[in-house]
């Protein structure tokens, strides 16, 4: 999708569709109304307002209304998108609305669109949301479709002309905003592709190849380790999970190093992603229905890879590492058993009480490895527990960690990027659940507080390093389409990680630029 800025009169712009987001008050009062609305209505001799009224379009969130212009305007159609109440506006409202708009425009076979940026206070983040929402809304996963090829070949919105609010002049920073927003949207689409790909063609080996390709494209260092090297690293928990599958495990390590030596020597930020390419449950086999979506159990690593692609472009003034332990969790004669004791990289021993609690085992070893990089912060993303979906519903991720400063940075980044993440407690009352009779701990507790016990398990492997664990089991993949999201992988986490990096960059640069006191 290509973006440019439109200048002048919206009614003269040439495009298949003019997309006009409107607040509910825009239908009843002229104050704050975009001039594109009045001008279009005028050229259509009042038919726009009349039709909107007849169709019951009141600018409510989730409302859409399409009007044919019959050659009276440069655009073939006008699409009104409800934004709801102005007081409730956030850039995410716009991101969702435009995603819906682009989906509808694609159904209309539109190839070009003029999109009005509403006049709001949060102009920069709204422009970002508009571009991200457009890219994400245009996403489709049809790689494997051969029938209905017409649909696959059908035209889609490829060119978007952005129309600035009345009275706002274009400046240079807007090009940069659009550029980054487009990169972020595309990175989230890449994450979606990785998640949506069937497990048979997204094996640990293929995931590692994809990671290498991303690294190569962005000038990052990629280090891929196979079974022998993982054995050398004594990652007994990772190897235990991987044992049941004929697919070789892969330890994926991407590194971004800043060019300047004084930046390269700063403590790194490490992103860790769960990368179970298929989670059958192992010998604690999942029921068939639950297993169907388990090709998405590498969504954490998909988000991390998407974010790294943008990091390579942003070039922050501190190193960023991405680590993922990729393997399959399968039952077989080689599989790890219930009652087995695994020895982790840290030396801690773990009694296996459920082979379906595999994510924490792999992550435990990878987090211990991450910690050896002496990082300033570790953020892990994992489709870790069904319990997190029970707790927060399918659209919200859970956050765990005891470093309040890092936690707030991550939550603020999430809020700014429109991804909903809520903190859950690492309560001491659930610490004993993982006590084992035979080893240092066991890998699974009971159902109660399941995402909290999982987080407690991970915590054993990160030492004192500031760390946040994001359980993205719900929002990484959705069964209902909504706004800019299609069914399947969402790319959840990419936006938060990128925003975190941008904020950390701004903080570090502010410290450098601050005038000396005295
Ligand atoms: N990958 C699953 C978690 C999951 C479930 C993600 C549903 C997305 C949707 C994870 O490996 C798992 O199986 N967790 C178990 C833990 C239990 C055995 C302690 C779970 O949530 O049931
Ligand atoms: Mn599992
Ligand atoms: Zn899993």
> Which token pair is 162?
């952005």
> Which token pair is 373?
């990089």
Residue 254 pLDDT grade (very low, low, confident, very high; cuts 50, 70, 90) = very high
Residues 405-453: tens digit of each pLDDT = 999 999 999 999 999 999 999 999 999 999 999 999 999 999 999 999 9
How buried is residue 35: exposed, middle or buried, by Cβ count under 10 Å (0-12/13-18/19+)?
middle
CA distance 82 to 77: 16
CA distance 216 to 214: 5
> Which token pair is 483?
């706004």
Residues 6 or more apart from 158 whose CB is under 8 A from it?
1, 2, 111, 112
Residue bearing tokens 């044992």: 243
What SS3 state is found at 479?
coil
How many whole angstroms from 456 Cα to the centroid of ligand 1?
15
Percent of the chain residues past pLDDT 90, beyond the cut? 95
pLDDT at position 126 is 98
| Ligand 1 pocket, CB under 6 A | 279, 297, 354, 356-359, 383-387, 444, 450, 473
Q: Which atom in ligand 1 lies closest to the alpha carbon of residue 454?
A: 19
CA distance 475 to 436: 32
How many whole angstroms from 164 Cα to the centroid of ligand 1?
45
b/e string for 51-83 if b means 16 or more Cβ within 10 A? bbeeeebbbebebbbbbebeeebbbbbbbbbbb
The structure's pTM equals 0.97
Tally of residues, the chain: 518
Q: Are 135 and 106 in contact (CB under 8 A)?
A: no
Task: Provide the 8-state DSSP code for 343.
Answer: E
Does residue 7 have a pLDDT over 90?
Answer: no
Residues 338-381: tens digit of each pLDDT = 999 999 999 999 999 999 999 999 999 999 999 999 999 999 99
Select which of 100, 103, 360, 442 is catalytic.
Answer: 360
């Amino acid at each position: 999708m290509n973006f440019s800025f439109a200048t002048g009169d919206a009614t003269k712009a040439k495009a298949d569709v003019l997309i006009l987001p409107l607040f509910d008050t825009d239908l009843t009062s002229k104050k704050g109304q975009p001039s594109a609305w009045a001008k279009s209505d005028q050229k259509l001799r009042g038919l726009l307002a009349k039709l909107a009224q007849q169709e019951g379009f009141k600018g409510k969130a989730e409302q859409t209304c399409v009007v044919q212009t019959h050659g009276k305007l440069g655009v073939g159609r006008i699409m009104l998108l409800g934004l709801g109440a102005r007081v409730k506006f956030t850039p995410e409202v716009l991101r969702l609305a435009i995603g819906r708009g682009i989906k509808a425009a694609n159904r209309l076979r539109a190839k070009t669109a003029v999109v009005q940026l509403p006049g709001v206070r949060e102009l920069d983040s709204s422009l970002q949301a508009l571009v991200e929402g457009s890219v994400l809304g245009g996403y489709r996963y049809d790689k494997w479709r051969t029938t209905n090829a017409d649909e696959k070949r059908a035209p889609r919105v490829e060119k978007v002309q952005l129309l600035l609010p009345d009275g706002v002049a274009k400046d240079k920073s807007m090009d940069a905003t659009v550029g980054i927003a487009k990169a972020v949207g595309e990175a989230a689409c890449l994450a979606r592709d990785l998640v949506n790909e069937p497990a048979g063609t997204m094996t640990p080996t293929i995931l590692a190849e994809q990671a290498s390709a991303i690294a190569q494209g962005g000038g990052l260092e990629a280090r891929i380790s196979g079974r022998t090297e993982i054995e050398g690293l004594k990652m007994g928990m990772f190897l235990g999970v991987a044992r049941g599958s004929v697919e070789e495990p892969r330890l994926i390590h991407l590194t971004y190093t800043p060019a300047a030596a004084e930046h390269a020597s700063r403590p790194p930020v490490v992103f860790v992603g769960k990368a179970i390419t298929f989670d059958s449950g192992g010998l604690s086999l999942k029921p068939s229905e639950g297993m169907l979506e388990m090709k998405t159990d590498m969504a954490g690593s998909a988000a991390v890879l998407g974010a790294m692609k943008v990091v390579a472009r942003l070039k922050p003034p501190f190193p960023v590492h991405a680590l993922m332990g990729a393997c399959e969790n399968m039952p077989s004669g080689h599989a790890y058993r219930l009652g087995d004791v695994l020895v982790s990289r840290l030396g801690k021993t773990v009694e296996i009480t459920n082979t379906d609690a595999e994510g924490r085992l792999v992550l435990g070893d990878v987090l211990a490895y991450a910690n050896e990089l002496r990082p300033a912060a570790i953020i892990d993303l994992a489709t870790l527990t069904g319990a997190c979906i029970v707790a927060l519903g399918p659209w919200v991720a859970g956050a765990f960690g005891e470093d309040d400063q890092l936690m707030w940075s991550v939550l603020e980044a999430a809020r700014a990027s429109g991804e909903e993440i809520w903190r859950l407690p690492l309560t001491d009352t659930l610490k004993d659940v993982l006590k084992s009779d035979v080893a240092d701990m066991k890998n699974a507790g009971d159902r109660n507080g399941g995402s909290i016990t999982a987080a407690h398990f991970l915590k054993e492997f990160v030492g004192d390093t500031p760390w946040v664990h994001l359980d993205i089991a719900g929002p990484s993949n959705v069964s209902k389409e909504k706004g800019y999201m299609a069914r399947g992988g969402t790319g959840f986490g990419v936006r938060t990680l990128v925003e975190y990096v941008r904020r950390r960059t701004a903080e570090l640069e502010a410290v450098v630029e601050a005038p000396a006191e005295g």
